């Protein structure tokens, strides 16, 4: 018995019940589970902010891109606006008086049609016209007229800087390039042949080549065509006084022409000394007279010439002398002598025919301005080809005389 009991006692003492074993393992299990749960929670917690950070970065990049695009659009719009010419303004009479020394400033010995002045730091040609009858040109009406004229832009139309209605006159200011003068000033200097041949006057040598004169004719014709076709309006004031001759900005011998007074009918009444405007047909006739004067060097106004047959003075115009030159076959001697004989006679004859057709007495006999501009442009292309076939003259020669006139 003792032996049995002695063997049983260690067994009883050393054996641990299963419930007790389970209770000792549960703290480890709980700790491991807590650790796993904490790790999962940590992973979940760390995962959440990372996702939020990515979304915030994408939103920031999108906003930055939108902001950059918006700034780029505003910059492009500002650049586009800066490239456009400034809108014409309504000047005060005080500004004009200050710019022209109370209108006492000299207009120039040969060009008295406008004042050369500076308006708001811009070189300007200031023209004085008579206002519309009945006092219709109020400041509000002048502002509305400026807005209508400002819609049209062409290289052959002088840029209108502004206007000023002032009592018995209305003033129009146009951008004035350096060295510019009117075609009227050039034609008026044709009588002083000695100074023109010597080159003593800038206005007398500005059109010393045949190609420069055809270039002026092309510019004026295209400007009138633009007014007729695109603005659907007559210019109404085509004359040598309304054409500005602009020397080549690069110092060459070329010259371009721009038309002033486009849209002047909105501000001023027709000049009493000019033929009343009758619309587009009147512009065509005026261009024909201007073209003939440009080729011959004569003014558009009529002059008196002694008739040897009748022994009396007869009144003739540039249209009359051109028609006589065509009838007698003497166009070559009729062209301005300042050109010498450095011009293609066939091209000159075609231009004279265009001028005479434009200057026809009946409106129905005058061509459309599109046809006129096309003819003049074709002569210009032919004249350029003709000029390339010639050798440049020496410095002491202004022309090449092939035969006596």
Phi, psi at residue 401, to the nearest 5°?
A: -85, 115
Q: pTM for this structure?
A: 0.72
Q: Give yes or no for a contact between 220 and 243, defined as CB atoms under 8 angstroms apart.
A: yes
CB neighbours of residue 274 within 10 Å: 14
State the pLDDT at residue 250.
Answer: 62
Q: What percent of the chain has pLDDT over 70?
A: 65
- Rounded to an integer, what distance in angstroms lies between the CA atom of residue 74 and that of residue 68? 10
Segments making up each domain of the chain, as ranges: 89-191+204-390
Q: Note the helical H segments in 329-368.
A: 331-334, 345-358
- The sign of the dihedral angle between the CA atoms of 232, 236, 238, 243 is negative
Q: Render pLDDT for 235-258 as a digit per residue (tens, 0 to 9).
A: 999 999 999 999 876 655 688 999
Query: 61: buried, middle or exposed (CB in 10 Å: 19+, 13-18, 0-12)?
Result: exposed
The tokens describing 261, both together, are: 């007074």
State the pLDDT at residue 198.
Answer: 35
State whether residue 247 is helix, strand or coil: strand
State the pLDDT at residue 207.
Answer: 85
Q: Render pLDDT for 65-116 as a digit per residue (tens, 0 to 9).
A: 666 666 777 777 666 555 566 789 999 999 999 999 999 887 765 567 899 9
- Rounded to an integer, what distance in angstroms lies between the CA atom of residue 292 and that of residue 222? 17
Q: Render pLDDT for 184-210 as a digit per residue (tens, 0 to 9).
A: 888 876 544 433 333 334 444 578 899
Q: What percent of the chain has pLDDT over 90?
A: 41
Residue 262 — pLDDT band, cuts 50, 70, 90? very high
State the pLDDT at residue 175.
Answer: 94
Task: State the chain's mean pLDDT as an integer.
Answer: 77
Residue 338 — pLDDT band, cuts 50, 70, 90? confident
State the pLDDT at residue 169.
Answer: 86
Position with higher pLDDT, 189 vs 364: 364
129 beta partners: 170
Report the CATH number of the 89-191+204-390 domain: 1.10.510.10
Of the listed ranges 202-216, 279-293, 339-353, the least confidently predicted one is 202-216
Q: Render pLDDT for 225-235 as a digit per residue (tens, 0 to 9).
A: 999 999 999 99
- Rounded to an integer, what distance in angstroms lies between the CA atom of residue 207 and that of residue 296? 12
CB neighbours of residue 8 within 10 Å: 10
């Amino acid at each position: 018995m003792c032996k049995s009991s002695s063997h049983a006692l260690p067994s009883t003492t050393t054996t641990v019940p299963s419930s007790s074993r389970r209770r000792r393992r549960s703290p480890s299990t709980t700790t491991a589970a807590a650790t796993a749960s904490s790790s999962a929670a940590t992973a979940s917690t760390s995962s959440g902010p990372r996702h939020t950070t990515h979304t915030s970065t994408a939103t920031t990049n999108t906003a930055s891109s939108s902001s950059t695009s918006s700034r780029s659009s505003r910059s492009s719009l500002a650049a586009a606006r800066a490239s456009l010419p400034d809108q014409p303004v309504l000047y005060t009479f005080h500004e004009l008086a200050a710019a022209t020394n109370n209108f006492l400033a000299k207009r120039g010995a040969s060009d008295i049609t406008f004042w050369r002045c500076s308006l708001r730091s811009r070189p300007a040609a200031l023209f004085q016209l008579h206002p519309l009858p009945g006092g219709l040109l109020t400041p509000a009406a002048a502002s509305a007229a400026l807005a209508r004229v400002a819609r049209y832009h062409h290289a052959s139309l002088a840029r209108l800087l502004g206007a000023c209605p002032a009592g018995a006159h209305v003033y129009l200011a146009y951008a004035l390039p350096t060295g510019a003068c009117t075609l009227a000033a050039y034609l008026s200097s044709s009588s002083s042949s000695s100074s023109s041949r010597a080159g003593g006057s800038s206005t007398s040598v500005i059109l010393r080549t045949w190609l420069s004169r055809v270039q002026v004719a092309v510019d004026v014709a295209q400007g009138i065509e633009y007014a007729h076709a695109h603005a659907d309006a007559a210019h109404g004031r085509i004359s040598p006084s309304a054409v500005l001759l602009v020397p080549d900005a690069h110092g060459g011998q070329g010259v371009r022409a721009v038309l002033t007074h486009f849209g002047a009918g909105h501000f001023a009444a027709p000049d009493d000394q000019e033929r009343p405007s009758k619309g587009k047909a009147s512009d065509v006739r005026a261009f024909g007279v201007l073209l003939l004067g440009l080729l011959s060097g004569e003014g558009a106004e009529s002059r008196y010439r002694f008739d040897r047959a009748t022994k009396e003075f007869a009144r003739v115009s540039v249209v009359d002398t051109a028609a006589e030159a065509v009838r007698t076959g003497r166009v070559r001697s009729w062209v301005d002598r300042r050109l010498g004989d450095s011009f293609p006679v066939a091209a000159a004859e075609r231009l004279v025919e265009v001028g005479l057709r434009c200057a026809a007495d009946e409106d129905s006999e005058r061509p459309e301005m599109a046809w006129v501009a096309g003819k003049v442009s074709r002569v210009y292309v032919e004249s350029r080809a003709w000029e390339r076939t010639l050798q440049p003259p020496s410095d002491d020669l202004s022309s090449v005389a092939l035969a006596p006139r």
